[in-house]
Amino acid sequence: MEERKVDVAIIGSGSAGLYALGKVKPSGKSFVLINGGEAGTTCARVGCMPSKAIIQVAEDYHRRSIFGRYGIDGHQQMSIDTAEAMEHVQDLRDTFVDRVLSNSTDNMGEEFIEGYARFVEPNVLEVNGERIQADKIIIATGSTPIIPKAWKAFGDRLLTTDDFFEQEQLPSSMAVIGLGVIGLELGQSLHRLGVDVVGIDMAENIGGLSDPEVNKAAIEIIGKEYPMWLGAAVEISETESGKLLVTAGDNSATVDKVLVAMGRTPNLESLNLQATEIPLGDNGIPLYNPNTMQVAELPVFIAGDVDGERPLLHEAGDDGRIAGYNAVSDEVTAFRRKTPLNIVFCDPNICHIGVRFEELDPDTTAIGQIAFGPVGRALIMGKNKGLLRVYADKRSGKLLGCEMVAPKGENLAHLLNWAIEQQLTVGEVLQMPFYHPVIEEALQAALYDLYGKVETKNETPVTELIPL
């Protein structure tokens, strides 16, 4: 059998693998990049990008519901051609996938291998019958949507993001199981595009919210658009007409299709990890240090969705950078990870930043909040629904985190996340300019509320200003 020797082998040419490559390539070390399955990143193919495209169409179409408020006529006669909408989504997706490929694996030559890699020895991989011996190995194989085994019998009436964006037509009715990021983004969009949608989750919270007040507001606001069944396990069975009967607690509905959005599982099976000394956690995922991305003390690194944490593009990027840098360095460097930033692009956006509500110590934490009802700009936008709650250390006034369901939450989230990264206090943030009338003033109002509850105040006679 042929054997190739390289300094670094990267398994997986998704986002994390490509970011790792970005550190390996300029190092001058020899390498291979191996990819099994479809080319293109999860993000561009079936994740962030096509989901934002369908959200945009759905939001534009949904917007007609407020046109009557101010003299825009003819909106009652508007309709949506969902086949055309899906084609638009697919066109955009193809653009994004092509862009990724042309900037990465296209024309890479023999350093790129298409095929599934499996370990045959701790530092030897086999791909397409070729043995590759690598001093360092980076595992960046990504993840796959979870479908409970018993449901596989329902065949193509069950969709995940892997096949959803391939649909040429939308069904007339659909259950969305799982109300995390994907379930909320697609469920609401499908409803807005005319699909009869029900959202279902065994949990009582949606979009990963842990603050009960924000969660309640989110369920109230979004749940007004389409029904949500929370807190009961779901069962699916087939009806005589070949449709699917979906039941959860006392609720049931007959639907054409089910979108399964119950999370993703790391792609580890085909790697044959038993041929290595890689120690696995209880969840079957290699034990690794998130600051170095090194697996145990081995010359193995891991990055991206496969590591089971922070399944977000910008975090996969950092994973890949750290893994790639450490794989080509003599010593392993530990890096500080960024303040958590999570955005669900439903409408209003759901965001959580920094320390989660459920992780706070109630004795040492102060909470400020704003409901969006009276927020001027939100009112003008016709989007004055939401709740933002921001947390700080009561004694020092340092910002800790935030959970929100908010119009333009994605932008507020960046502003606040960067303030937390800077370790700013509530008082310090109140010294920043807030223009008028902008949605950022909602954050300002929540911060004023919070400022009244923390012990550390600005050492200036005017809160908002710093003496010269």
For the stretch 151-156, contacts whose Cβ atoms lie closer than 8 Å and that sit 24 or more positions apart, written own/partner, are 151/236, 151/258, 151/260, 154/236, 154/238, 154/244, 154/258
* C-alpha to C-alpha distance for 392 and 401, rounded to whole angstroms: 7
Q: Does 402 bind a copy of itself (CB under 8 A)?
A: no
**Interface residues for a copy of itself in 49-88 (CB under 8 A)?**
49, 52-53, 56-57, 60-61, 63, 66-67, 69-75, 77-85, 87-88
Q: Please enumerate in sequence order all residues whose Cβ is within 8 A of that of 316, keeping only pairs 6 or more positions apart, or say none.
A: 14, 15, 16, 19, 303, 304, 305, 310
Q: Pick one of 166, 333, 364, 455: the residue that binds a copy of itself (CB under 8 A).
A: 333
**Interface residues for a copy of itself in 165-194 (CB under 8 A)?**
none
Q: Pick one of 5, 224, 338, 395: the residue that binds a copy of itself (CB under 8 A).
A: 338
Select from 82, 72, 19, 7 the least CA-distant residue to 293: 19
- Pick between residue 47 and residue 286 the one whose CB is nearest to a copy of itself: 47
Task: Give the C-alpha distances (Å, rounded to integers) separating 25 from 14, 31, 318, 420, 426.
Answer: 16, 8, 16, 34, 43
Q: Pick one of 109, 242, 362, 467: the residue that binds a copy of itself (CB under 8 A).
A: 467
Q: Please enumerate in sequence order all residues whose Cβ is within 8 A of that of 57, keeping only pairs 6 or more positions apart, or say none.
A: 80, 85, 88, 89, 189, 193
- Stretch in the footprint of a copy of itself (CB under 8 A) among 31-39, 253-261, 275-283, 338-346: 338-346
Q: Output the smallest distance, CB 202 to a copy of itself, in A.
A: 27
**Interface residues for a copy of itself in 96-115 (CB under 8 A)?**
96
* 286 DSSP assignment: B
Q: Pick one of 214, 408, 425, 427: the residue that binds a copy of itself (CB under 8 A).
A: 408
Q: Please enumerate in sequence order all residues whose Cβ is within 8 A of that of 246, keeping only pairs 6 or more positions apart, or say none.
A: 175, 177, 198, 200, 234, 235, 236, 252, 253, 254, 255, 258
Q: Output the smallest distance, CB 267 to a copy of itself, in A.
A: 21
CB 183 within 8 A of CB 176: yes
Q: Does 413 bind a copy of itself (CB under 8 A)?
A: yes
Site string for a copy of itself, 339-378 (x = CB under 8 A): x-x-x--------------------------------xx-
Residue type, 419: A
Q: Does 437 bind a copy of itself (CB under 8 A)?
A: yes
**Interface residues for a copy of itself in 20-39 (CB under 8 A)?**
23
**Total residues at interface with a copy of itself (CB under 8 A):** 88
Q: Is 365 helix (H, G, I), strand (E, B) or coil?
A: strand
Locate 320 and state its tokens: 């890949």
**Interface residues for a copy of itself in 194-253 (CB under 8 A)?**
none
- Pick between residue 115 and residue 194 the one whose CB is nearest to a copy of itself: 194
Locate 400 and state its tokens: 């800790």
* C-alpha to C-alpha distance for 86 and 399, rounded to whole angstroms: 42
- Stretch in the footprint of a copy of itself (CB under 8 A) among 246-254, 263-271, 387-395, 437-445: 437-445
Whole-angstrom Cα Rg for the chain: 24
Q: Output the smallest distance, CB 268 to a copy of itself, in A.
A: 24
- Pick between residue 77 and residue 274 the one whose CB is nearest to a copy of itself: 77
Q: Pick one of 31, 112, 325, 372: the residue that binds a copy of itself (CB under 8 A).
A: 325
**Interface residues for a copy of itself in 275-314 (CB under 8 A)?**
291, 312-314
Q: Output the smallest distance, CB 406 to a copy of itself, in A.
A: 13
- Pick between residue 191 and residue 377 the one whose CB is nearest to a copy of itself: 377
CB 118 within 8 A of CB 109: no
Q: Output the smallest distance, CB 309 to a copy of itself, in A.
A: 15
Locate 142 and state its tokens: 């990504």
Q: Output the smallest distance, CB 398 to a copy of itself, in A.
A: 15
Q: Output the smallest distance, CB 152 to a copy of itself, in A.
A: 31
* C-alpha to C-alpha distance for 138 and 17, rounded to whole angstroms: 8
- Pick between residue 263 and residue 340 the one whose CB is nearest to a copy of itself: 340
